[in-house]
Amino acid sequence: MVDVFGGLLNALGTASLHFLEFNSLVFLLAGTLCGLLFGAIPGLGGTTSLALLIPLTFGMDKADAIMLMGGSMAATSTGGSISAILLNTPGIAPNAATMFDGFPLAQQGRAGEAIGAAATASALGGLIGVFTLILVIPIAKQIVLLFSPPEFFLLAVFGLCAIAVSTGTRLLQALIAAIFGFICAFVGFDYVSGIVRYTYGIEALWDGIKLVPALIGLFAISQMIDLVVKGGAIVTTTSEFKIQRISSGIKAVFKNWSTMLVGSAIGTFIGAVPGVGGTVAAFLSYSTQVQRDPTPDVPYGQGNIKGVIAPESANNAKDGGSLIPTLAFGIPGSAETAVFLGALVLHGLEPGPRLLFEHEDVVFTLILTLTFACVIATLIVLALAKPMAYLTLVDAHILAPTVTVVALVGAYALQGEFGDVVVALAFAVIGYLMIRFQYPRITFTIALVLGEITERSFFQTMGISDDSWAIFVTRNVSLILIGLIIISLMVPSLRNWLRKRREARGEPA
């Protein structure tokens, strides 16, 4: 073990030499800027950015290529948080959970604070993810192997429990919205039965209702419709406009350090589990936060800063986490790492269990790139937060058409498919109706994000266990997850009951 660490430290030294070269730093910066930009523009996202950068790297040195692409990979979700907060549209899917509280904060004139918190949480989450990665390299395999389909299913169910706590006072509407989310999640090709279902023959739906176009419509465009109907700007309370509060956003992260730590831990773990992904990580982190905090000072969904910190720390931590399975087995932990690994193959490297031993320098260049890129990205965002936050003061008649066009172009740019634009427009109408008639979009989104993995992992579990439900209680990790689910469902009612008893005792009839 000492040997391994000694070797690792040595490689770390070699790798850090790259960071002293001017050229390499230019590539790192270029990659980071690229990632921020592609993250912030809805629809483009990390995989697009990487796919476009790959041809540029062909003539490059391996280390430079890694710095360019790694920088982009680490920065996208930081960039994506900006559009989630300011425009109520996720830059990339893992930022979707940031909208729930980020946008209400922007509406209250606290966009600067929200961006400050998101950027800080992103940097810290990213760093925690990378440090965890370094620490667990020796036991990476065991961690990846802890999770099987039964655990995926229970994780998804745990995430779904957040529907119950996010309903607020409109239980019926929230449940209807969630059921609608499930219905949408099951559209498209079903891997289990091998058939295309619920598409009414529409080819654009064969790959399912894609998350980003749907969310662009549901949140961004519908919000713009609402804005135009009501008039004014995103900030509804101009009198309380506090744009300079970026520093209070940064402080909020340190004040709510446990939220950030839990978020980062969830992000790292989910990142390490292949097949779950950053979006689920961010949602799980958000739901965990909501459930950990049953009596919040500000209700979740109405602009609670902790609702921004939780998902943002998770979706950056997952970058480090998703390299755990990569180093343990050569398996990408996320869509971005999948493309990234493809790029390494094009450079003649073979990602896999031996990479760490045969190309330590490559691994450490990557680790250092992720570390530096998430800090650089955050500094850039913090520096630009103030001018960007003024966007929330722009009048609807200028903002709405611009955002709508950018959002639709983003939906199209995702895969160059017109069908995605139609999906975005359809969900814009649905989203507006949901705003109008007060159906919560949060419960819809949670079900849409988690529906597919819930169903697929359930059928996989039943396949493994030969249709015996006992599999959920005979495995340690499953049992722990079941415990967590029960606790998260019980705690709010238990607290209510205790409070009522106390009140009853305090005021005897």
Interacting residues with another protein (CB under 8 A): 47, 51, 54-55, 58, 141, 144-145, 148-149, 188-189, 191-194, 196, 203, 206-208, 274-275, 328-332, 335, 338-339, 341-342, 345-346, 348, 350, 352-354, 415-416, 456-457, 459-460, 463-464
Q: Is 496 helix (H, G, I), strand (E, B) or coil?
A: helix
Q: Which residues make Cβ contacts (< 8 Å) with residue 500, sequence separation at least 6?
A: none
- The sign of the dihedral angle between the CA atoms of 173, 174, 180, 184 is positive
- 459 burial (CB, 10 Å; 0-12 / 13-18 / 19+) is middle
252/362 with CB nearer another protein: 362
To another protein, the closest distance from the beta carbon of 356 in angstroms equals 11
CA atoms lying within 13 Å on the CB side of residue 455: 16
Crossing angle, helix 418-436 and helix 396-413, to 10 degrees?
140
Closest contact distance (angstroms) between CB of 426 and another protein is 18
| Residue with smaller CB distance to another protein, 168 or 330 | 330
d(CA 250, CA 498): 35
Give me the amino acid identity at 3: D
Work out how close the CB of 332 gets to another protein at its nearest, in angstroms, rounded to a whole number.
6
The residue (of 193 and 476) whose beta carbon lies closer to another protein is: 193
Structure tokens belonging to residue 451: 């529906």
| Residue 433 or 464 having the CB closest to another protein | 464
* Comparison of 87 and 335: residue with beta carbon closer to another protein: 335
The candidate with the shortest Cα–Cα distance to 491, out of 161, 167, 171, is 161
Shortest Cβ 60–another protein spacing (Å): 14
Give the other-Cβ count within 10 Å of 25's Cβ: 15
Among residues 298, 280, 311, 326, the alpha carbon closest in space to that of 456 is found at: 280
Min separation Cβ 23 and another protein, Å: 23
Q: How far is the CB of 35 from another protein (least distance, A)?
A: 16
What's the min distance (Å) between Cβ of 54 and another protein?
7
Residue 7 vs 463, nearer CB to another protein: 463
Smallest distance from another protein to CB 203, Å:
6
Nearer CB in complex with another protein: 64/151: 151
Using alpha carbons, select from 277, 45, 324 the residue that is nearest to residue 159: 277
Q: Identity (one letter) of the amino acid at 253?
A: V
- The distance of Cα 139 from the centroid of its chain, to the nearest Å, equals 25
Residue 294 or 353 with smaller CB distance to another protein: 353
d(CA 310, CA 257): 10
Least distance to another protein, CB of residue 109, Å:
40
What's the closest the beta carbon of residue 325 comes to another protein, in angstroms? 8
Nearer to another protein among residue 5 and residue 206 (C-beta): 206
DSSP 214-238: HHIIIIIIHHHHHHHHH-S-S-S-G
* 297 residue type, one letter: D
* d(C-alpha 444, C-alpha 168), whole Å: 14
Nearer to another protein, 141 or 242 (CB): 141
Indicate the Cα dihedral angle 99, 104, 110, 116, nearest 10°: -20
